[in-house]
């Protein structure tokens, strides 16, 4: 804010200095026009005194030449004049002497009026920028810091500004999403802890029974074959019971732990592609990767537009990370009432057998090398596509990884 105020003050001072220089230049401008009027007047006087009365039209700065006729208004004129005598005759020579000052005055008034209006407009622009852009931006600049600190409860004040209205709305939506995500994580953690404690307690009973059977067998308390068979059967039942509890744990661990939400609506395919091109055309040009988008007929898809773009982003990032940087292509096809969108990249070194597992959570293929990652990108993509009523599958052909999204037409 202080920096902007200093800049505005410096620009205003420079403007005023320029105005002062212009005024000085006008005031000190050449007065040659007034000098020529005096020269023309002297020439006319010389001619009259030498017996010739010239025509006023022959001189640019002479208005008129009048001989004294005895009238009382001879010495009255609105113009500047001089009296010239020749013997007993008098002549009044009128000339343009005051015109130069009037012209300067008019020029000064015009220039200063224009510069004054310009200064008012400039001040208005500075005030507008300060109130509508600088001040709101300073208020908004604190929000990322608060989000980083984990302060998710204080929303930004709504703004009608055309510059920051959407930003405020988007930031508040981000804050709300992060807050809901944190709440879901806390609930999920609580549920998992409760489940673990409950199953731990339930497992103790069959585990105690197994220990008792083991001690009895160790001490040889059961000699009767039928009793032994009953003990072995009991051990198997208790083992199955524990296995059932472990299966519950495994099932709970495989649930949608990310809490992905989808708001079904409709979106044109062209809208999704416009977003993807905006995100990746320049990025891939800088890396030297050839980016190809096939031809398609626009259609309305059943999906959550934001989630659909997120899925396409995941596929694009996957292609950038694990491809050879040669080429990435997006192609389109139709199948029954569905539109298929395929993202492919060159340089795939993954084996065909691994395509069955790449959509599993935390799975990382044999081609990851030292590249960082969580193994969740394609898992998230699959979960979102399923929630949007679509599907996703992968195949490898001629060294290209092809991942296809299946969208239902609206």
Residue 59 CA to residue 47 CA, distance in Å, equals 13
Are domains 166-253 and 265-408 of this chain identical in fold? no
Residue 355 CA to residue 382 CA, distance in Å, equals 13
**162-189 pLDDT tens trace:** 666 677 777 777 777 777 777 777 777 7
Has residue 254 got a pLDDT over 60?
Answer: no
pLDDT-wise least confident of 155-164, 302-311, 317-326 = 155-164
pLDDT-wise least confident of 74-83, 175-184, 295-304 = 175-184
N-to-C CA span, the chain: 50
Residue 379 CA to residue 88 CA, distance in Å, equals 120
Which residue, among 104, 96, 128, has the nearest Cα to 28 in the 3D structure? 104
State mean pLDDT over 360-378: 75
Residue 407 CA to residue 401 CA, distance in Å, equals 20
Give pLDDT, residue 370: 67
Has residue 63 got a pLDDT over 60?
Answer: yes
**98-109 pLDDT tens trace:** 555 566 777 888
The CATH topology of domain 265-408 is Heat Shock Protein 90 (3.30.565)
Has residue 93 got a pLDDT over 60?
Answer: yes
Architecture per CATH, domain 166-253, reads as: Orthogonal Bundle (1.10)
Residue 144 CA to residue 290 CA, distance in Å, equals 35
Pick the residue with more confidence: 142 or 274? 274
Give pLDDT, residue 78: 81
**117-135 pLDDT tens trace:** 998 999 999 888 888 778 7
Has residue 394 got a pLDDT over 60?
Answer: yes
The band of 242, judged by pLDDT with boundaries at 50, 70 and 90, is confident
In the chain, where the domains are located: 2-28+101-140, 32-97, 166-253, 265-408
Determine the number of helices (DSSP H) and then strands (DSSP E) in the chain: 10, 10
- Under 8 Å between Cβ of 95 and 82: yes
- Whether the model pTM is above 0.95: no
The band of 157, judged by pLDDT with boundaries at 50, 70 and 90, is low
Distances (CA, A) of 132 to 11, 38, 118, 159, 365: 19, 59, 21, 10, 51
Which residue, among 29, 53, 23, 56, has the nearest Cα to 40 in the 3D structure? 56
Has residue 247 got a pLDDT over 80?
Answer: no
């Amino acid at each position: 804010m202080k920096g902007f105020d200093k800049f505005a003050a410096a620009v205003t001072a420079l403007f005023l200095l320029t105005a002062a220089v212009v005024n000085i230049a006008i005031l000190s401008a050449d007065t040659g026009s007034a000098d020529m009027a005096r020269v023309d007047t002297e020439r006319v006087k010389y001619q009259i005194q030498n017996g010739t009365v010239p025509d006023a039209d022959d001189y640019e700065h002479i208005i008129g030449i009048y001989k004294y006729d005895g009238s009382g208004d001879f010495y009255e004129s609105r113009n500047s004049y001089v009296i010239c005598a020749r013997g007993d005759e008098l002549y009044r020579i009128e000339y343009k002497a005051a015109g130069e000052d009037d012209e300067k005055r008019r020029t000064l008034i015009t220039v200063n009026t224009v510069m004054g209006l310009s200064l008012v407009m400039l001040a208005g622009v500075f005030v507008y920028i300060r109130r509508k852009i600088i001040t709101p931006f300073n208020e908004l600049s604190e929000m990322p810091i608060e989000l980083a600190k984990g302060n998710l409860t204080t929303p930004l004040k709504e703004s009608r500004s055309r510059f920051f209205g959407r930003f405020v709305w988007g930031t508040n939506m981000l804050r709300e999403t992060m807050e809901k995500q944190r709440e879901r994580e806390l609930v999920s953690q609580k549920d998992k802890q409760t489940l673990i404690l409950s199953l731990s307690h339930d497992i103790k009973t069959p585990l105690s029974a197994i220990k008792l059977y083991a001690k009895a067998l160790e001490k040889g308390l059961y000699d009767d074959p039928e009793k032994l068979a009953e003990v072995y059967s009991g051990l198997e039942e208790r083992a199955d019971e524990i296995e059932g509890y472990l299966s519950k744990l495994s099932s709970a661990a495989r649930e949608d732990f990310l809490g992905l939400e989808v708001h079904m609506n409709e979106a044109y395919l062209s809208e999704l592609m416009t977003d993807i091109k905006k995100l990746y055309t320049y990025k891939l040009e800088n890396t030297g990767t050839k980016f190809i988008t096939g031809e398609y007929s626009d259609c309305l898809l059943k999906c959550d537009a934001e989630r659909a773009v997120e899925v396409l982003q995941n596929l694009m990032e996957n292609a950038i990370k694990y491809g050879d940087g040669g080429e990435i292509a997006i192609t389109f096809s139709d199948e029954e009432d569905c539109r298929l969108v395929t993202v492919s990249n060159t340089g795939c070194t993954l084996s065909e057998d691994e395509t069955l597992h790449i959509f599993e959570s935390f799975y990382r293929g044999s081609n990851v090398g030292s590249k960082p990652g969580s193994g969740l990108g394609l898992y998230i993509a699959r979960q979102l596509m399923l929630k949007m009523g679509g599907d996703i599958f992968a195949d490898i052909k001629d060294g290209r990884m092809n991942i296809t999204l299946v969208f239902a037409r609206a």
